[in-house]
């Protein structure tokens, strides 16, 4: 059983849901990325998503795009990110997954990327720009290596295609709550609840909801139908304050926000 499978099995048995914060690797630097992840896990986050900076992100809004730009401007390299995660995964209890463009995986080599990620203790990869029609080779490697290949289902995904995506997914399904790009939102559409309910009847995989999830009110709305909630821009925006505020203060602010979200899950 993979680290992701084990996590969701434990949470299910305890009748709990996963909180999955997102951070961009290398923003403002890799040392602070590691400090943020430690804080997130210490506050009770179940799993962490680490964005591998990419110059042409597919569905990221301005907050995450800006964080990628800042990281790339400092010439953050994949090897350095994996080295940092390798040191980190040995002393944090939560699995770590990467959000990574297929272009990066392909250039690195499918087999090599999975091997290097596993060597760093990474448990899976979210590959947002990999169409299900082309995911077979990577899916096969991930199944063989017991490595999560997390794929996305959106509100506009045709239902027959959503089933195919679920069949090629391991770890959990990333359900995109809204059409469009990532970013904090005031409200989320009520139809998420019905859409996720339908998807749950099609697959035994855990379903985690992301895009726009940014407040305790969102958590209260979505926790009853989700196995996990992914919070990205609201975390990344707080991390960005490290360029003008004391880092200890920024970490405390991030931790308090996570505590607020976790309390809303109860």
Is-catalytic flag, 60?
yes
| Active-site hit among 60, 80, 83, 256 | 60
CB 148 within 8 A of CB 97: yes
| Active-site hit among 5, 49, 160, 194 | 49
Half-sphere exposure of 232 (CA within 13 A, CB side): 30
Residue with tokens 């090629």: 168
- Please name the residue ranges forming H helices in 169-243: 191-200, 216-222, 233-239
Closest CA to 40 of 77, 82, 3, 92: 92
- The rounded Cα 144 to chain-centroid distance in angstroms is 22
CB 142 within 8 A of CB 175: no
Q: Please give the helix or strand (H or E) that residue 228 lies within, else none.
A: strand 228-231
Residues noted as catalytic: 49, 60
């Amino acid at each position: 059983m993979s680290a992701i499978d084990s996590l969701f099995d434990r949470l299910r048995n305890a009748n709990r849901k996963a909180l999955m914060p997102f951070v961009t690797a290398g923003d403002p630097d890799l040392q602070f990325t590691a400090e943020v992840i430690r804080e997130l896990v210490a506050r009770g986050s179940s799993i962490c998503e680490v964005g591998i900076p990419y110059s042409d992100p597919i569905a990221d809004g301005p907050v995450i795009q800006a964080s990628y730009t800042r990281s790339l401007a400092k010439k953050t390299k994949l090897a350095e990110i994996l080295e940092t995660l390798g040191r980190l995964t040995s002393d944090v209890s939560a699995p770590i997954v990467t959000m990574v463009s297929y272009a990066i995986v392909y250039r690195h080599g499918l087999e090599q990327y999975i091997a290097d990620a596993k060597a760093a203790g990474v448990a899976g990869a979210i590959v947002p720009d990999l169409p299900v029609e082309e995911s077979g080779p990577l899916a096969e490697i991930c199944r063989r290596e017991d490595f999560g290949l997390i794929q996305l289902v959106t509100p506009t995904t045709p239902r027959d295609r959503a089933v195919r995506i679920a069949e090629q997914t391991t770890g959990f399904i990333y359900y995109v709550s809204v059409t469009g790009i990532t970013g904090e939102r005031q409200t989320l559409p009520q139809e998420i609840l019905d859409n996720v309910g339908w998807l749950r009847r099609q697959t035994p995989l855990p379903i985690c909801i992301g895009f726009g999830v940014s407040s305790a009110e969102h958590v209260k709305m979505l926790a009853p139908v989700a196995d996990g909630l992914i919070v990205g821009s609201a975390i990344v925006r707080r991390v960005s304050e490290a360029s003008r505020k004391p880092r200890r203060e920024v970490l405390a602010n991030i931790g308090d926000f996570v505590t607020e979200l976790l309390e809303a899950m109860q």
